[in-house]
Structure 1
Amino acid sequence: MDILFPGRFSILTKVHEGVIRHISDKYVADEGKLYIGLRIIIDENWTNYDNPFTYDERKEMFNIVFGKEIANGKFCVVPISYNPLSLHQDINKHCEGKVTIYTREKTWAVCCKILGVPTIYENREGFSATNIKEKIYEILKKQNKLPVSIDGIDDKILNFMNNEQILNRLKNFAAHPDKNKDKFGINYRLRKIFLFK
């Protein structure tokens, strides 16, 4: 069975990794494919306090952790819009044939078959990347580089994040959380459209 597992995955955590491997082992088996849908909020390059990484940066995190599965075609990372009206179009564009969605979000029921409402990740402490993001922001308020290791995140991902461009963006968000914390960026976008600024 082919499965689509959508999410924001603002940082790929070790809990995410465990859940993804569980889905693959339990549902995808030998013949299926697991599509990991990375949510696109405004566009692929958009970032803010809650979403500090671009689509390509998040995709690279998956390549770091699941490189073997992606290389052999078992996993495929695809962009999925937050816009419910675009879901079906995105799925048809990026997924081969029919897929079953593994999610707790009822929005998906409009256009897709949902594999129940899973509780596996709802019951796992640390599924959300929020705590790890906050920890990273606190560290960057005190120093200019991330440590070699932080609980809950793969060391190779931390090493990837220790890039000057990424660090500067994270430090900016850490220093100005209120300015950047409109979760979906919609308020800023609408003001820009309607005020022509």
Structure 2
Amino acid sequence: METNVNEIANALEKTKQHASNFQTFLGINKWIREIENHEMELRSAQSDQSMANVDIQIRINPFLSKIERDVSEYGKLEINFSPPTKLVLRKEKQGQQLLIPSSPSISQIQHSTICSFDIPKGESKCMITGCNMFEDERMIFFDSRDVNKRIVVMNNKGSFIKEIKLTDIPFDVTVIDSNTAAVT
């Protein structure tokens, strides 16, 4: 702003030297408006504290200071490496090479029981041929035994919710939305 005011003062001096009194008068009116605008900007900057000095301090809670004295370490950083994925290099007909991640063999795959369900027995022993899960984790099972022909709905904890009898033997299911399933 000081630079702008100095430029206006220099322009005024040059105008006085080289222009007529009328031209100088017209120039002064223009410069007065510019000076007033600069003055308003300066007052605004001073009133909204954008030019204020800022002093930032942190006061640590005394409880945290006590913890810092008493605790020798807050934790440990552990780095664990897992074996890299093995890639199999296979050539296609035209000499192109493909990198394919190798999958573990069946003997290397370990299975575990995540959840088990006791599906209520129908008119005879169950024969489950299809199942699926709704978004709310309800499970839907198809009992395809000739005498049963039913859909069994259970919650994610394995508790029975309801049974729907069918006229034909169901084979499989897919979930359409939160309350609809399609049956084959």
Q: Would the TM-score normalized by the shorter structure come out above 0.5?
A: no
> Scaled by the length of structure 1, what TM-score is found?
0.16
Could you say which structure has the higher helix fraction?
1
Could you say which structure has the higher strand fraction?
2
Q: Rg larger in 1 or in 2?
A: 2
> Scaled by the length of structure 2, what TM-score is found?
0.17
